[in-house]
Amino acid sequence: MNDKKKDAISADVALEPYWEAARAGRLLLKKCTDCGKAHYYPRPLCPFCMSANTEWLQASGHGSIYSWSVERRGTPPYAIAFVSLPEGPTLLTNIVDCDLDALAIGQKVQLAFETRDELPVPVFRPA
Amino acid sequence: MSIKGKAFIAGIYEHPTRKAEGIPIAQLHAEVAKGALEDAGLGLRDVDAYYCAGDAPGLGGLSMADYMGLDVRHSDTTETGGSSYILHVNHAAAAIAAGKCKVALITLAGKPRTGGAPPGRPPMAVQPPDLPFEAPFKPTVLNIYAMVARRHMHDHGTTPEQLAWIKVAASHHAQHNPHAMLRDVVTVEDVVNSPVVADPLHRLDCCVVSDGGGAVVVVAPEIAAQLKRPKVSVMGAGEAIKHMAGGQVDLSYSAGQWSAAAAFAEAGIKPADIKYASLYDSFTITVLMQLEDIGFCARGQGGRFVADGGLISGVGKLPFNTDGGGLCNNHPGNRGGMTKILEAVRQLRGEAHAAVQVKNCDLALAHGTGGYLGTRHGSGTLIMERM
Ligand SMILES: [Zn+2]
Express each pLDDT in B157-195 by its tens digit. 999 999 999 999 999 999 999 999 999 999 999 999 999
| Among B282, B320, B324, B283, CA closest to B180 | B324
What type of residue sits at position A108?
A: K
Asked if pLDDT for residue B127 goes beyond 90, the answer is no
Print burial letters for A90-101: b (CB count within 10 Å at least 16), e (below 16): bbbbbbeebeee
Given this model, what pLDDT does residue A12 score?
Answer: 85
Asked if pLDDT for residue B125 goes beyond 80, the answer is no
Given this model, what pLDDT does residue A7 score?
Answer: 60
Region B371-386 average pLDDT: 97
pLDDT tens profile A26-55:
999 999 999 999 999 999 999 999 999 999
User: Using 50, 70 and 90 to split pLDDT, how confident is the model at A4?
Assistant: low
**CATH number for the segment(s) A3-126:** 2.40.50.840
- Report yes or no: A67 at the B interface, CB cutoff 8 Å: yes
Asked if pLDDT for residue B126 goes beyond 80, the answer is no
What type of residue sits at position B65?
A: A
Torsion of CA B183, B186, B191, B194, to 10 degrees: -70
Q: Which tops the pLDDT comparison, B136 or B124? A: B136
CA distances from A50 to A31, A44, B73, B108, B158 (A): 12, 9, 36, 36, 38
* Helical segments of B317-382, H only: 337-349
Given this model, what pLDDT does residue B128 score?
Answer: 87
Given this model, what pLDDT does residue B116 score?
Answer: 66
Shortest alpha-carbon distance between residue B348 and chain A (Å): 39
Instruction: Specify the CATH class of B131-203+234-386 in words.
Output: alpha beta
Torsion of CA B135, B138, B142, B143, to 10 degrees: -110
- Report yes or no: A5 at the B interface, CB cutoff 8 Å: yes
Q: Which tops the pLDDT comparison, A4 or B207? A: B207
CA-to-CA distance for A13 and A20, rounded, in angstroms? 12
CA-to-CA distance for B371 and B185, rounded, in angstroms? 29
* Helical segments of B278-336, H only: 284-294, 302-306
- Report yes or no: B153 at the A interface, CB cutoff 8 Å: no
Does the distance separating the beta carbons of A92 and B127 come in below 8 Å?
no
- Omega into B200 within 30° of 0, i.e. cis? yes
Does the distance separating the beta carbons of A8 and B138 come in below 8 Å?
no
Q: For residue A40, how far is its CA from the centre of ligand 1 (angstroms)?
A: 12
Given this model, what pLDDT does residue B124 score?
Answer: 57
**Average pLDDT over all residues of chain B:** 96
Give residues whose Cβ lies within 5 Å of ion ligand 1: A 32, 34-35, 46, 48-49, 51
Region B90-110 average pLDDT: 98
CA-to-CA distance for A43 and B35, rounded, in angstroms? 47
Region B273-299 average pLDDT: 98
Residue ranges per structural domain of chain B: 8-120+213-230, 131-203+234-386
Contacts of B154 in chain A (CB under 8 A): 67, 105
| Among B122, B52, B323, B329, CA closest to B209 | B329
Given this model, what pLDDT does residue B145 score?
Answer: 98
Shortest alpha-carbon distance between residue B252 and chain A (Å): 11
> What's the pTM?
0.95
Does the distance separating the beta carbons of B247 and A69 come in below 8 Å?
no
Shortest alpha-carbon distance between residue B75 and chain A (Å): 31
Given this model, what pLDDT does residue B118 score?
Answer: 52
Instruction: Report ipTM (2 d.p.).
Output: 0.94
Contacts of B148 in chain A (CB under 8 A): 67
What type of residue sits at position A58?
A: Q
Asked if pLDDT for residue A8 goes beyond 80, the answer is no
Contacts of B374 in chain A (CB under 8 A): 67, 82
Does the distance separating the beta carbons of B251 and A66 come in below 8 Å?
yes
Given this model, what pLDDT does residue B120 score?
Answer: 47
CA distances from A48 to A8, A39, A96, B158, B268 (A): 23, 8, 31, 33, 33
Query: Residue A18: in which H helix or E strand, if any?
Result: helix A16-23
Q: Alpha-carbon torsion B232, B11, B336, B70, what sign?
A: negative
* Helical segments of chain B, H only: 25-40, 61-68, 84-97, 131-134, 141-156, 160-174, 188-192, 221-224, 256-267, 284-294, 302-306, 337-349
pLDDT tens profile B296-349:
999 999 999 999 999 999 999 999 999 999 999 999 999 999 999 999 999 999
CA-to-CA distance for A70 and B44, rounded, in angstroms? 50
Provide the phi-psi class of B322: left if phi over 0, else alpha when psi is between -120 and 50, else beta: alpha
Nearest to A89 among B129, B136, B247 (CB): B247
Q: Alpha-carbon torsion A105, A93, A69, A77, what sign?
A: negative
CA-to-CA distance for B379 and B387, rounded, in angstroms? 26
> In CATH, what is the architecture of B8-120+213-230?
3-Layer(aba) Sandwich (3.40)
Asked if pLDDT for residue B284 goes beyond 70, the answer is yes
